[in-house]
Structures are given as structure tokens and as C-alpha cells.
Chains A and B, each alone.
Chain A
């Protein structure tokens, strides 16, 4: 079977906003009068040298960060943009499901809008009329179809737009992040429809932040990064690579907040600008970092991984029996856990003038989310020498979307036919 979509050496550049020529006649005329030459058009490359073939009947998912060129690729295949170079061939009728309900007119009824939208998307008048009932039925809008579209909720708008799109009877379906619309019943209907498309051997191109959708629906996946294909292959492999790169990127971004210059130490409440650091300053905490099990600095962890919190201290004036503490706080302020050397019954040796503290967490039992670490050193009576609050963020990822905060270690035993609670 011939390929449904073929791209060879596709490049697409956009004029970037900064280098845009005048957008009004007035400014164009002014530029002319002042003799200012139009700035050379700065161009931004959205796609670079893309080679991609999708066999007929295959579903290809495209993952990538915002601005990686996913939507541009989709619009090229849809025929909305034209490539600057390279060749592009699409066989069969294309249904672009790019932002649904485009062109719905608020004053017209749902029925009228369906007819117009269907024709704009390439159906003939007769084809639309024949499918009208099925479309209305699919959208679940029988009672409202003769009311003007301005009375619709945004959900109804989307549902109707989607219903039109999936009834186009296309050979190639292009989808831009539209799987997550409507309520559960509607989502299931969409899923059925996709399954049917797959059975009928339609070619699909799916773009999404939702890697899960790509994993579920696609035979193969492509990872786009800054306009270049970084990986192409089985969905789970591509998505693993993509996720790994994303967490590395996030970790680097988080690391930057650890490098920010520390505010000088102040007595609690003395100044307002030092809200993330206070204390009397006998002992100061200097460099805080999180290390993974290999001793590499890292700020994105998978739930259950070991983590080490490390920080250096410097003694300014020797004190008796200092206490070190740490806490983990969720980014919405929820206190997850806090302890110190006294509570943990750890004997603090003589500190000397400087040194390092390491707290090793064997398994980071947290549900996926964003957290911060607080670290402190204080006197036995609780007077802080140096307290660093909400300065050190990290992120926890997980394959499963569990609820709550703490990942409570547990096992399940399901025992059928047990007569009482204890066999």
C-alpha cells in the first residue's frame, strides 16, 4: 500500500514578530518618509529538514514541548501552510480537526452551522444533509440543534464541531489535542469512533501534550524538538525518551533556583525582604543541593527513588548542642514532613568551623507533584541560627496518577471465598 503521508526535507520558517514589517499603512509611510530601511526580516525556523512517512492505515502520534513545531507540521499536512522547501504529499481526503467549531456563527442555529461547517470542510451539500442526523445524534444535541449557537456552552460548541469533523469520512485524520473534550460519556463515544477509524484503516496523525493519548492510540510516535525529529519509533520508546529529556530540562531549570544568591541573614521578622531566610547567625547554612543515588545533582525524581539532601555549614560563633532540621513542603504550602536531629535522636558531634550535613532518604515516598525542601539549624530551645524556607524546589514524577501526598508502602491480598475476615 502506498504511503498516505510523505514528507521529504520539509523546512518551514516564519517571520518572527520582532522582524515583522509595518502592520499599518501609517507606519509603512512613516518609515518611508524617515528613510528608515525596513529591517531585514528575521526568520524563525519552525521545522528543519523533516523526513517522515506514514503508511496508510497507521496512526502516528507527535509529542514535543510547546513550540517544538507539532502544530506547524499538522498545518502543513492539512494544507493550511506551505513548506518553504521540501516535498509533501498527502493521499486522500484530509479531515483537519484543528480547533473545532472554527467558523461557527453565533447567530445561526446549530443545524445551520453544521451544514456550513461540513461544506467548508469539504462535504457536498447532499452529503451533509444525509449525515445531519448522525452528527446531531453523536453530539448529543437533539434538543438544542435549532437554537442559535450563541446560546451554547463551550462544551456543546466543541462537541458539535467534533461531531462534524468525525463524520467527514476522511482518509487521513489530523488531530490537535482534541481527545480530552466533553464529559466521560462523550469521551467514550470519541474513543469508539477512533477505534472504528482504526478498524477501517484510516490514517491518523495525532498531536498532543498528552503522551498517554499517543501511547493509547498510536502505532508509532515521533518526538519533535525545536523543529527537528529527535526520535521515531514505537510509542512507549519515543515517549520514554521524551519524558526523560523533559525531566532533565526541568531539573536544570530547578537547579537554577539553588544558584540564586542568598539574602544576608536577619533576625526573624526584622526585614520583610528576607522572608525565605532568618536566624541569629551563629551557624550559617551555605550550599544546599539534592543528589541522586549516584551523587549527581538532580531535582526531578521518580517516586520511590533515593534522595540525599546535602548542605554545608559554617560556624561563626561556637554554640552548645546545635540541632539540624529539614522539612518537605508541597508547593501549595501543605506541610508534608518535618524532623530534626533531636527528634531523630541523632547525636550531633562537635562541628568545628565548617562542614557538611547529609540527609539520606532511602525511598522518596511522595505522590507526583512539586515540593520544596526547608533546612535549618537551631538551638536546643528552638531559637533559629539559620532557617532557609521555601528556597529549594524539586519535582516528583510517577507513572501512575495516585491521589494524596504520601506514597504509603503497601501490598494487596484479595482472598475470594473467605468465610470470615481471617482464613
Chain B
């Protein structure tokens, strides 16, 4: 496990160049180029605002901002999970021909998605100013939430990327799971709208706590409650630890199975 972690650091140059490649190829050859980063959450924000705020009249102040603040971390998470899970299979030619720690590949997916997230945050801040919402010192809590979510997502994608080599249909399953997961995570609605007897259920969903912390820090301009966040942090480190141990065990079989 520690070896797998050390490798991630030792191969950071490969990690960086692959992230650069990922970002570069994603937007090259498309007319809108880098604007795609913003377009996807923007369109979702507009549609959800129309449906929930205009049609269904959910009474939440500055609903589009609220949704946007929740969508950004969720999109980071789900896009990282999807591309991360298939990252090892997608780079099969590399795995088969170059000695190479495979856990780098999901790390590339998670980090590239993080870059997109970070680039979209200023846009959210601009919207907040335009809407007249206060931007609080709570913004300084953002790196903590980012770090925890990064570790959590990385751990999950490392395990998924290696399992996907053996079970190719994991990819489809994951897409479905993510859709369901999205709706039980308070992105479109605040935690406070969930009835009291379901609150405990929310606490079982680490993404609920993470997304909530982003919404608090950004839209709510308040410091998120630290206790649940710390629990998620412990969970995230545990998940990553297990993931690295798994990758240590599975990595040698990958070149043969891909």
C-alpha cells in the first residue's frame, strides 16, 4: 500500500503530463473548446432552475446559485468516476507495453476533473456577486472539502478502474448507480427539506455531506459543520488505503488481462 502511494508521487511527472494530455485532448477539435467546461453545469443549472424554481415553485432563495454550487462538486465527482473507472482499460496499450503503475491512470481522471471544477468556481462567484449574494470567509473552507473529496474519489476510482479490467460491464452499472446516487444526494434540494426520519439516511451518504459542505461554503457563506466532514475524511483515507492495497495486489494481472 505504501509502495503504491510512493509510486504515485515518484511518477508525478507522468501524472502531470497525462493530465495535461487529458485536458488538451478533451477540448481540442471542438468548436467551443474550453467553454465546454462551463457549458455542461450551466445548462443543467438552467434546466433545474426552470423545473424546480419556476414550474414547481420550490421556495429557496437564489435557487440557481444554490443548484450551481451543488452541481459543480457533483459533476467533478461523477465525471471523475466515469472516466476513472474506464481509465485503465482505455489505456490498455500502455499497460501492456510500458512498465507503469496503473493507479496513475485513475489519478489522472480525478485530477483532470478537479481542474475543470476549479476553473468553474470563479464563474459561480461572478453569479453570486451579480445576484447580490454575500461571499464569506467560509470560502477558505473550500480547500478542505476539495481535499477530502479528492481522496475519496481517488480511492473509489482506483478500485473501480482495476475491477473494470475483469468486469467490463461495471461501466454501465456505474452510470446507472451514479444517476440514482445523484437524486439521493442533496444537490437539487437542501438537506433541511428532507424529513427528520430520513436525516440519518443522509448521513450515510458521504457525497451528501461533501456536496453540503460546498453549498455551505459557497452559496450559504457559512462554515460547514466540521464533525460530519471529519468522518468523511476518515472514510476517504480508509477507502484510499484499501484501494492502494488492492492496486498492489491486482496490478500484475492487469497487463495479462487487458
Q: B100 at the A/B interface (Cβ < 8 Å)?
A: yes
Beyond A25-B169, A25-B170, A103-B93, whether A80 also contacts B21 by CB under 8 A is no
B35 interfacial by beta-carbon distance below 8 Å: no
Query: Which of A21, A78, A107, A124 gathers most chain B CB within 10 Å?
Result: A107
| A79/B99 in contact, CB under 8 A | yes
Interface residues of A in 286-314 (CB under 8 A from B): none
B221 CB to closest chain A CB, in angstroms?
A: 41
Q: Is A397 an interface residue (CB 8 A)?
A: no
A188 in the interface, Cβ–Cβ < 8 Å?
no
Determine the chain B residues whose CB is within 8 A of the CB of A25 once the complex forms: 167, 169-170, 173
In contact, B99 and A23 (Cβ under 8 angstroms): no
Cross-interface CB contact of A75 among B14, B18, B173, B255, cutoff 8 Å: B255
Contact digits for B85-96, partner A, Cβ 8 Å, 1 yes 0 no: 000000101111
A107-B166 contact given A80-B96, A80-B97, A102-B93, CB 8 Å threshold: no
Within B237-258, the residues touching A (CB, 8 Å) are 252, 255-256
Residues 170-182 of B, flagged 1 when their CB comes within 8 A of A and 0 if not, give 1001000000000
Closest chain-A Cβ to B1's Cβ sits at a distance in Å of 17
A108 at the interface (CB under 8 A from B): yes
Tell me the bound Cα distance from A25 to B163 in angstroms. Answer: 10
Whether B252 contacts A82 by the Cβ 8 Å rule is yes
B193 contacts the other chain (CB 8 A): no
* Residue total for B at the interface (Cβ-Cβ under 8 A): 27
Interface pick from B24-32, B38-46, B59-67: B24-32
Q: Across the two chains, which residue of chain A brings its CB closest to B170?
A: A25
Verify B13–A99 contact, CB threshold 8 A.
Answer: no
The reply to whether B13 and A119 contact each other, CB–CB distance below 8 Å, is yes
A120:B98 contact, CB within 8 angstroms: yes
Q: Which residues of A contact B93 (CB under 8 A)?
A: 99, 102-103
A127 to B253, CA, bound (A): 32
Chain B residues, CB < 8 A from A124: 13
Contacts of B18 in A (CB 8 A): 116, 120
Give every chain B residue within 8 A of A103 (Cβ-Cβ): 91, 93-94, 97-98
The list of the 8 closest CB pairs from A to B, nearest first, reads A79-B99, A102-B97, A24-B169, A82-B252, A25-B167, A103-B94, A119-B17, A107-B25
Q: Could you jot down 28 A-B contacts, CB within 8 Å? A: A14-B256, A15-B256, A21-B166, A25-B167, A25-B170, A25-B173, A26-B169, A75-B255, A79-B99, A80-B95, A80-B96, A81-B252, A81-B255, A96-B98, A102-B93, A102-B97, A102-B98, A103-B98, A108-B25, A108-B28, A112-B24, A116-B17, A119-B13, A119-B14, A120-B18, A120-B94, A120-B100, A125-B13
20 additional contacts (CB under 8 A) given A99-B93, A107-B29: A21-B166, A24-B169, A78-B98, A78-B99, A80-B95, A80-B97, A80-B98, A80-B99, A80-B255, A81-B255, A96-B98, A107-B28, A108-B25, A115-B17, A116-B18, A119-B14, A120-B17, A121-B98, A124-B13, A125-B17
